């Protein structure tokens, strides 16, 4: 049983060419604005963490690392996680040296699970987030792992995959529901309920947040340590201080 921790609110920024983009079910990408502006806005509004994911896996050009990530992390004093296209320990180290606190890995880990072990050994498990995109298989009521920005089905049952990634040393798990991503219809509570029976590391829920009550509902799962939110923040449907005030009144342990 995991000890009680602060419930975390994380802003997720999907990035393409330094712009924040948004989609529904990972389809129909559209630009929202400049990533650095949104990151700074959420930091000033008291977000707990920021999660950058590169939608086209181009983050690791020298230009990006030098001009964008270093600048963003200089001005932001909350934990920053970066994912999208990380394939080697050297790439991960470069991202951390540029100011990120954690790296997130999905596709490359599925292709080579031992990469998680190498990363954990070299940079510490606390800096390694296993980022999973999951989609429901309606035929057998299971969830399967997807890669390449929610487009390719690996056929791997997520419960089996969670056992592997924990064994390999990942320190945190962020799970996105492909079916709920961008829909604002609420979190995939059944998915996280199944995961709660397997997960011993911090678990972040992502995909589907539309209202504060959606966050309240998923928070009832004691194995969920926080939520990653995007569209409702990007389009000003919810404010971070509004969310935090609500949960303070509910006597939640949250970061102030």
Q: Catalytic positions, please?
A: 14, 133
Residue 93 tokens, joined:
């180290």
**pLDDT value of position 2:** 45
Give the separation between CA 121 and CA 12, rounded to whole angstroms. Answer: 27
Domain residue spans of the chain: 8-249
Q: Determine the pLDDT at residue 109.
A: 95
* pLDDT, one tens digit for every residue, the chain (256 residues): 344 568 999 999 988 777 787 756 666 566 778 888 889 999 999 999 999 888 766 444 545 555 667 767 778 889 999 988 888 999 899 889 888 899 999 999 999 999 999 999 999 999 999 999 999 998 988 999 999 877 889 999 999 999 999 999 999 999 999 999 989 999 999 999 999 999 999 999 999 999 999 999 999 999 999 999 999 999 999 999 999 999 999 989 887 6
**CA–CA distance from 136 to each of 90, 109, 146, 150, 173 (Å)?**
34, 20, 10, 12, 18
pTM (two decimals)? 0.91
Token duo for residue 193 = 């309920």
CA dihedral 240, 14, 103, 237 (to 10 degrees): 10
Exposure of 212 in the CB half-sphere (CA atoms within 13 A): 14
149: left (phi over 0), alpha (psi -120 to 50) or beta: left
CATH level 2 (architecture), domain 8-249 = Alpha-Beta Barrel (3.20)
Distance CA 14, CA 6 (A): 25
């Amino acid at each position: 049983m995991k000890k009680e921790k602060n419930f975390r609110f994380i802003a997720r920024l999907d990035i393409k060419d330094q712009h924040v983009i948004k989609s529904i079910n990972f389809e129909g990408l559209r630009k929202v604005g400049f990533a650095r502006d949104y990151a700074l806005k959420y930091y000033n509004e008291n977000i707990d963490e920021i999660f950058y994911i590169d939608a086209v896996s181009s983050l690791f050009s020298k230009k990006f690392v030098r001009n964008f990530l270093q600048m963003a992390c200089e001005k932001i004093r909350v934990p920053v996680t970066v994912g999208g296209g990380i394939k080697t320990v050297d790439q991960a180290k470069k991202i951390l040296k540029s100011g990120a606190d954690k790296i997130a890995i999905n596709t490359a880990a599925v292709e080579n699970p031992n990469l998680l072990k190498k990363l954990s050994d070299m940079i510490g498990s606390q800096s390694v987030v296993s980022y999973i995109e999951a989609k429901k298989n309606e035929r057998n009521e299971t969830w399967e792992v997807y890669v390449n920005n929610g487009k390719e089905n690996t056929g791997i049952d997520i419960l089996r995959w969670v056992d592997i990634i924990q064994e390999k040393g990942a320190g945190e798990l962020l799970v996105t529901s492909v079916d709920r991503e961008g829909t604002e219809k609420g979190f995939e509570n059944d998915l996280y309920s199944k995961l709660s029976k397997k997960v011993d590391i911090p678990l972040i829920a992502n995909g589907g947040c539309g209202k504060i009550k959606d966050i309240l509902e998923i928070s009832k799962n004691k194995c969920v340590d926080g939520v990653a939110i995007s569209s409702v923040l990007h389009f000003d449907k919810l404010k971070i201080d509004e969310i935090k005030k609500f949960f303070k009144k509910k006597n939640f342990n949250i970061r102030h």
